[in-house]
Structure 1
């Protein structure tokens, strides 16, 4: 009689833990736009989410620790003239975020430490070049100030944010139809795209050449997503001919047949994949689902191993994924998601159960730090480099000098959009003004609460 052997893995018992009510962000009006992006972006300082806005497009940026009920008059980033479709934090500066919108523009914003005290309408730089709405934003993982955008004009533009110029264009000859997803390789040498023409392509963006492509990785007609995973592989999510959701793993050198193909369920929501290169775990979050599935990728057959599923009662409108340096390593947290409900953002921690309080080296190998490995010029000149790694043994503490150095790279973009003021106030004056603004805002919020209470009292009578 044969006994079934259970594969041993330190991630077999990973469990998801939703945050308590007071650690959520309550009363936020999440965007109702029917676009298949995550609608949420997070980093160790801020959580940003695309919200409903009258007469334009806006997104909310909150300091990570500012949980609880969000005041209805909280200031937003509101410079777009049409709905915002995608947002992404710069991996090399936790204060810089880019947004793509139906108004055909990409805007790059610099969020002050502590969050917004007034609505932000002026971006650091506006990137104009698309002729239709911009639905995908992706920063280069290792080169400073390099940003990719993909629009419904079937064009991919790569920008040097420092100069505000589009430095590379992949035109409609590469993608003849709507682009569903774009993902950078870990060293930023290649991009992987999925398109409505049912093809997944590997592209060298600097040469504009398609290195490899796969026709119909999934037989169904609904959107496909593709991301790079470890060891020269890509992972795709899509639908079968019978509309069952599927996940597949492919070797980029041999795209004829998948290394692994698994059918999941018959739900209709597009699966958003999030890959963690440190643990080789991929998380699948479906739009409209109430679950997160996770799989471990290994270098030997069967390559893709189902681990478990986190389920909750309410469905998700979108999902944000925290970079590894923003996690609580002393709690063995290996991933954290920010799940968007209709009117709430709920953090969900993925944890490996361990008894020891000591730092778990095997769970936290050196991970991508916030320093860029290359300048934009070096990458455009043909150089590639993997991310500069940092240890999380003592936790991650952002350094001030890093922020300033990165910000200078954005100054050229600022000069392109606005002439230099002749008398620039000192940092002390700016700090004092910001403090006064915070106090004024606190007063306004307190008065608003009193008004709300009075209205309730009047209505009750």
Structure 2
């Protein structure tokens, strides 16, 4: 441009340069999106869309919390809390043995210091788990080396519960993990510090499968069932994560040192063919990693989070493909969405509060309030309080949001214990939440008196349908009762006649 240019020419040149600059910026932006580095950061913030990007956590108001509960001080990496659509259970400090508290969900507010507890263990309780097929049945593992199965009456306890329905004895050291089979009736897994995993048929009180110390040479940190219950995923102190077929006792796949640090690793099954692990780097940074179970050489995704020391407990929701990471001893819940395409693991957000958490319970999907677009609910244990935290998707419509609530796992088992032990696998029976979840009638725990004495007391029939043998025993007992009543009535008549004669 020479010194004789007109103002109009100057303006035209400026416009052209501005357009060139915009084109260059656009090309740079497009290149960044296509580059591997851009995929991790820019695409997540600018391009990728998800209906769960704005999920937010909302702690319950004070009157909706459970106050004055003495949460266990045991140093064990379990959640110390278990919830279902009827009850919240949490492991408490107790003098003279192990105990845990069970409250109806509606019984919020200050908990009476003399409230009755489940107190049959003779040493601290380390883990508890509700049966997925019977909301009144809960299992507990303890330092006294036993697993106990309990029936909680509707409405909660009115007197302390000291007698379990069945005591499962087989471990030689403390039992730190209990986990019900997700789809087979009355199948319960327990893992002890004897490095043994036992699978129980609770209906008979017998251990039907044993994975001994030859599989896990050291302490087992976590165990998780696959969605159809065909496999289990374990993490061990020997720094290996294993995928096992429990009925055959075989190792399907294993990964040595998924995280380089020495702190405990936790592993869970997530979307089809993948597992997620949480652990620590060599520099003690907390990490989360996603793995393809068929190619465990390198992770699909590995992200470093922070330098806190608390173990991260993962909770996976198969309906939304969201995994929540709750750190023991810190005050946050991070959540990620898992997708089938790179980069596979997408950070969504983090819920933080002032007080740290001693443990965490996770509500099954059928216990949520669908009219409020609640997609998850946690029960956070403080030092002296249990606080519900609702995870909600912001939506304006009051109508049922079908995209947030696909059919979810219902309470009915898909298999009997015998069918599963025979080699069958089945996914959960799915139910719709469109009209809200209505719990089925209370399913009674039936005592099978035909068991020999070595099998102790009897166990729950989660389906609630008695067998033919049970029906015949009940009929026989009814006949005996009727005969006894008739005999007593005759004696009463004779006494009345004698009194009148005098």
TM-score normalised by the chain length of structure 2: 0.81
**Which residue of the partner structure matches residue 35 of structure 2?**
none
Check conservation: 2:185, 2:462, Cα contact below 8 A. Answer: no
Report deviation, 1:403.
5.6
Report deviation, 1:443.
36
Query: In structure 1, how many angstroms separate the alpha carbons of the residues matched to 2:385 and 2:205?
Result: 35
Q: How big is each residue's C-alpha offset from its partner over 1:229-253, in whole Å with a ceiling of 9 and x where there is no partner?
A: 0111000000000000000000000
Query: In structure 1, how many angstroms separate the alpha carbons of the residues matched to 2:69 and 2:384?
Result: 5
The structure-2 alpha-carbon separation of the partners of 1:438 and 1:344, relative to structure 1 and needing over 3 Å to count, comes to: farther
The structure-2 alpha-carbon separation of the partners of 1:442 and 1:186, relative to structure 1 and needing over 3 Å to count, comes to: farther
Query: In structure 2, how many angstroms separate the alpha carbons of the residues matched to 1:252 and 1:122?
Result: 42
Q: How big is each residue's C-alpha offset from its partner over 1:223-279, in whole Å with a ceiling of 9 and x where there is no partner?
A: 000000011100000000000000000000000000000000000000000000000
CA RMSD after TM alignment: 10.2
Check conservation: 2:243, 2:251, Cα contact below 8 A. Answer: yes
Larger Cα-atom Rg = 2
The structure-2 alpha-carbon separation of the partners of 1:301 and 1:67, relative to structure 1 and needing over 3 Å to count, comes to: same
The structure-2 alpha-carbon separation of the partners of 1:410 and 1:121, relative to structure 1 and needing over 3 Å to count, comes to: farther
Check conservation: 2:136, 2:442, Cα contact below 8 A. Answer: no
Equivalent residue in structure 1 for 2:463, among 416, 422, 426: 422
Check conservation: 1:83, 1:103, Cα contact below 8 A. Answer: yes
Check conservation: 2:381, 2:387, Cα contact below 8 A. Answer: yes
Query: In structure 2, how many angstroms separate the alpha carbons of the residues matched to 1:457 and 1:69?
Result: 58
Task: Name which of structure 1's ranges 414-423 and 109-118 shifts more when overlaid on structure 2.
Answer: 414-423
The structure-2 alpha-carbon separation of the partners of 1:74 and 1:171, relative to structure 1 and needing over 3 Å to count, comes to: same
Q: How many residue pairs get matched?
A: 461
Query: In structure 2, how many angstroms separate the alpha carbons of the residues matched to 1:248 and 1:460?
Result: 89
The structure-2 alpha-carbon separation of the partners of 1:121 and 1:98, relative to structure 1 and needing over 3 Å to count, comes to: same
Query: In structure 1, how many angstroms separate the alpha carbons of the residues matched to 2:485 and 2:368?
Result: 34
The structure-2 alpha-carbon separation of the partners of 1:17 and 1:456, relative to structure 1 and needing over 3 Å to count, comes to: farther
Q: How big is each residue's C-alpha offset from its partner over 1:42-76, in whole Å with a ceiling of 9 and x where there is no partner?
A: 00000000000001000000000000000000000
The structure-2 alpha-carbon separation of the partners of 1:359 and 1:460, relative to structure 1 and needing over 3 Å to count, comes to: farther
The structure-2 alpha-carbon separation of the partners of 1:452 and 1:264, relative to structure 1 and needing over 3 Å to count, comes to: farther
The structure-2 alpha-carbon separation of the partners of 1:444 and 1:46, relative to structure 1 and needing over 3 Å to count, comes to: farther
Check conservation: 1:124, 1:414, Cα contact below 8 A. Answer: no
Query: In structure 1, how many angstroms separate the alpha carbons of the residues matched to 2:105 and 2:87?
Result: 5
Query: In structure 1, how many angstroms separate the alpha carbons of the residues matched to 2:246 and 2:425?
Result: 12
Query: In structure 2, how many angstroms separate the alpha carbons of the residues matched to 1:420 and 1:312?
Result: 41
Query: In structure 1, how many angstroms separate the alpha carbons of the residues matched to 2:488 and 2:278?
Result: 49
The structure-2 alpha-carbon separation of the partners of 1:147 and 1:429, relative to structure 1 and needing over 3 Å to count, comes to: closer
Check conservation: 2:202, 2:459, Cα contact below 8 A. Answer: no
Query: In structure 1, how many angstroms separate the alpha carbons of the residues matched to 2:307 and 2:373?
Result: 33
Check conservation: 2:187, 2:199, Cα contact below 8 A. Answer: yes
Query: In structure 2, how many angstroms separate the alpha carbons of the residues matched to 1:109 and 1:437?
Result: 26
Residue pairs, 1:167-178, within 5 angstroms: 167-178=208-219
Query: In structure 2, how many angstroms separate the alpha carbons of the residues matched to 1:141 and 1:442?
Result: 44
In structure 2, the residue corresponding to 1:5 is in which secondary structure? Answer: helix
Q: Which runs of 4+ in 1 moved over 3 A?
A: 1-4, 401-461
Query: In structure 1, how many angstroms separate the alpha carbons of the residues matched to 2:264 and 2:137?
Result: 30
Matched, 1:441 2:475: no
The structure-2 alpha-carbon separation of the partners of 1:420 and 1:397, relative to structure 1 and needing over 3 Å to count, comes to: closer
Report deviation, 1:445.
41
The structure-2 alpha-carbon separation of the partners of 1:2 and 1:347, relative to structure 1 and needing over 3 Å to count, comes to: closer
The structure-2 alpha-carbon separation of the partners of 1:137 and 1:425, relative to structure 1 and needing over 3 Å to count, comes to: closer
Residue pairs, 1:13-92, within 5 angstroms: 13-92=54-133
Report deviation, 1:399.
1.6
Q: How big is each residue's C-alpha offset from its partner over 1:269-311, in whole Å with a ceiling of 9 and x where there is no partner?
A: 0000000000000000000010000000000000000000000
Report deviation, 1:7.
1.1
The structure-2 alpha-carbon separation of the partners of 1:335 and 1:217, relative to structure 1 and needing over 3 Å to count, comes to: same
Report deviation, 1:398.
1.1
Check conservation: 1:162, 1:412, Cα contact below 8 A. Answer: no
Report deviation, 1:6.
3.2
The structure-2 alpha-carbon separation of the partners of 1:427 and 1:340, relative to structure 1 and needing over 3 Å to count, comes to: farther
Matched, 1:392 2:447: no
Report deviation, 1:400.
1.3
Gaps of 5+ in 2: 1-41
Report deviation, 1:457.
60
Report deviation, 1:367.
0.1
Matched, 1:265 2:306: yes
In structure 1, the residue corresponding to 2:233 is in which secondary structure? Answer: strand
The structure-2 alpha-carbon separation of the partners of 1:21 and 1:413, relative to structure 1 and needing over 3 Å to count, comes to: farther
The structure-2 alpha-carbon separation of the partners of 1:72 and 1:404, relative to structure 1 and needing over 3 Å to count, comes to: closer
Report deviation, 1:32.
0.3
Equivalent residue in structure 2 for 1:359, among 400, 419, 438: 400
Report deviation, 1:106.
0.1
**Which residue of the partner structure matches residue 262 of structure 2?**
221
The structure-2 alpha-carbon separation of the partners of 1:433 and 1:281, relative to structure 1 and needing over 3 Å to count, comes to: same
The structure-2 alpha-carbon separation of the partners of 1:165 and 1:438, relative to structure 1 and needing over 3 Å to count, comes to: closer
Check conservation: 1:117, 1:438, Cα contact below 8 A. Answer: no
